[in-house]
């Protein structure tokens, strides 16, 4: 008679003794996350190859990085030489071949499984055998993405948080076939660029979103029911729970469309009712109220 399987062991921190530092990183996809990741890596002294098919996006986001670094110089948090060095280490191009000789490739393209599968197939054919391939997905299966390659043991998740230059956490996601060496190199890389890694299994929402999304959904429901104003709800969490930012202000910061997408993906994966996006937030997205980036969300940013 078969015996029951023992519970899977909790993923622990890998042994990074002797792990070779990463010197060249490729970031696939600019935009908010890709540009932030590229900035962090370049500021840490790594050579960064950015692959972005749109010349207009490259121009826009390189200018955005320059502005962010310029503000840091103006406020005395960064010197001009460090700013110039960071910018010089970011080399954008439109062709995927630009990424092929990197030690580590981080995918930061839109959250569509078909696009990610196509990209990882192409990377699998072009990069060297020891290159680590990482996805920045926040909701899709890393295991499924890895299965598009012939080297699933060399694929992991590196889930950054927005804005990447500010928030210290990166979730290092171990997929079903990620090997110890890949996990250790990814974990060591996160520390190398000055971020704080945590390790988790490949499960919908990983750790943070699995906690955060239902909390945000409940808060939006409370606001929609008229039980308290947005400011009072946020102040309650800031001064009663010691949150650095209120949950509704956080929704505005990350984007209501992003929050709705994450909730929809988690609901589709887990079928848990608490993960479904609240109707009020869906209505706001349909009305173009996306938070800070649109000028209006739970708060009005027109004058800021």
Active-site positions read 138, 159, 171, 209
Other Cβ atoms closer than 10 A to 232: 12
List, in sequence order, every residue forming a beta bridge with 91; answer none if it has no partner: 49
Give the dihedral of Cα atoms 183, 184, 190, 193; nearest 10 deg.
-140
242-256: b (≥16 Cβ within 10 Å) or e? eeeebbbbbbbbbbb
**13-50 burial, b for 16+ CB within 10 Å, e for fewer?**
ebebeebeebebbbbbbbebbbbbbbbbbbbbebbbbb
Tokens of 173: 């996601």
**DSSP assignment string, 211-237:** HHHHHHHHHHHHHHTTSS-HHHHHHHH
Contact 120, 157 (CB under 8 A): no
């Amino acid at each position: 008679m078969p015996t029951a399987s023992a519970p899977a062991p909790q993923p622990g921190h890998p042994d990074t003794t002797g792990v070779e530092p990463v010197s060249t990183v490729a970031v696939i996809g600019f935009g908010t996350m890709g540009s932030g990741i590229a900035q962090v890596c370049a500021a840490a002294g790594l050579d960064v190859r950015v692959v972005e098919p749109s010349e207009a996006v490259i121009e826009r986001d390189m200018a955005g990085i320059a502005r962010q670094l310029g503000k840091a110089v103006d406020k005395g948090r960064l010197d001009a030489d460090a700013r110039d060095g960071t910018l010089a280490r970011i080399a954008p191009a439109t062709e995927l071949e630009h990424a092929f000789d990197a030690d580590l490739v981080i995918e930061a393209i839109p959250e569509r499984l078909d696009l990610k599968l196509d990209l990882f197939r192409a990377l699998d054919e072009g990069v060297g055998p020891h290159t680590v391939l990482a996805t920045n997905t926040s909701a899709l299966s890393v295991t499924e993405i890895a299965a598009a390659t012939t080297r699933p043991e060399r694929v992991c998740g590196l889930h950054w948080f927005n804005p990447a230059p500010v928030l210290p956490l990166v979730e290092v996601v171990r997929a079903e076939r990620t090997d110890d060496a890949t996990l250790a190199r990814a974990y060591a890389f996160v520390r190398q660029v000055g971020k704080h890694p945590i390790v988790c299994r490949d499960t919908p929402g990983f750790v943070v979103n699995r906690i955060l999304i239902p909390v945000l959904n409940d808060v939006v429901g409370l606001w929609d029911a008229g039980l308290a104003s947005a400011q009072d709800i946020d102040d309650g969490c800031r001064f009663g729970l010691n949150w650095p930012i209120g949950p509704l202000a956080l929704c505005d910061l990350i984007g209501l469309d992003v929050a709705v997408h994450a909730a929809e993906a988690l609901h589709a994966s887990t079928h848990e009712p608490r993960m479904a996006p609240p109707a009020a937030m869906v209505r706001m997205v349909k009305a173009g109220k996306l938070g800070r980036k649109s000028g209006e969300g739970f708060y009005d940013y027109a004058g800021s």
